[in-house]
Structures are given as structure tokens and as C-alpha cells.
Amino acid sequence: MVKYILISGKINSGKTTFANIILNKFPNDVIVSHFSDIPKKEFCNKFNYDLQLMYESREYKEQLRPKLIEYAESNKLVNGKDIWAKTLTLGIPDSSKIVIIPDLRLIEELDYFIQNQLDFVIVRINRIGTCNQHFTEIQFDNYTGFDFIYENNRSFDDLRVSAINFITPIIKNDI
């Protein structure tokens, strides 16, 4: 059975860095996938935007972000609010042990995991100075059900140690 690690946090809080630290330490046990990967690919294909640049350039991605969010949200109206969570989980190979999703932003994404009784833990990464108030950034601000909260206001080494200390018991229990 796949164990999902859902990571919530504001933009630039260190969610993907946290996930990549774990992936680099345990490459045979972990997959990193994003809820936003599928709508990004579809959006870029449909409107002829550069997908590679979307991943490589923060400025390019942020410039297109309002249009991308509008596309993803309108798609949910047609295909159901859980379309991106459902599509992501259905695309995970059965042999996967741990899947880290470092872009948990919406309650409906979490609801999909609860309703489908998937095995998951929720991580919150906080960082001073990340105060974007867009609806995709604030839905978990008052959520109290996190399994692990990390205040990312120290060094990269501290983040690395915390990520490894967090995942090691999970890896040991799921192998």
C-alpha cells in the first residue's frame, strides 16, 4: 500500500525543497509528484506555453499563475473538484512505497485522501515572510490536524536534518 506525504505551506516556504531532500536521501523508496503537474501540462499544451520554462523559471510561472489557476478551477467545474487528486493518485504505480506531494493547497485535495481512505500524513512547512493571501495559499492556515509542523526559519542544514528525521521512521515502517 502506498503511503502519501502531503505537504502544505505557503509559496516559497520550502515544501519542494523538503520533499527533494527526502527523495535524494531515499531515491529507491520515494516518488515526488505534484497536484499541479497535470493541469500545468494540460494548460501549456492547450495554450501553447513552454512547460519546461514553467518548471525552470519562477518568474515565468508566476506570470502565468492566474491563468493557470483559472484553467485548473474551470476544469474542476466540468470534471469534479477532486479531478487533480484523483488523476495524480491513479497515475501512481502500485509498486510505489512512499509518494510525497509537496503542494497540498486546497481542503478538497485532502478530502479526496480522507474519503478514499488512503494512507497519508500531513506536513506543514511555515516560513516567516511568506504571506500571500490568495485562496490557494490560505486554506490550511487554521488547520490543526497536521502530523508534523516545521518552522523553516533556520538553515538549509536544519531543514535537511528535520526532513531526514521526519521520514526515517516512516521509511522503516513501510519497507
pLDDT tens for the chain, 175 residues long, are 899 999 999 888 899 999 999 999 999 999 999 998 999 999 999 999 999 999 899 899 889 989 998 999 899 889 998 998 999 999 898 888 899 999 998 899 999 999 999 999 999 999 887 666 777 778 898 899 999 999 998 899 999 999 999 998 888 876 4
Is the Cα torsion angle 114, 116, 121, 127 positive or negative in sign?
negative
Query: Residues, the chain, total?
Result: 175
pTM tops 0.85, yes or no = yes
Q: Which of 10, 50, 52 is nearest to 136 (CA)?
A: 10
- Collapsing DSSP to helix, strand or coil, 144 comes out as coil
Q: Mind listing the domains of the chain with CATH numbers?
A: 3-33+92-174 (3.40.50.300), 39-79 (no CATH)
Residues 6+ apart with CB under 8 A from 45: 51
* Angstrom distance (rounded) from CA 75 to CA 123: 27
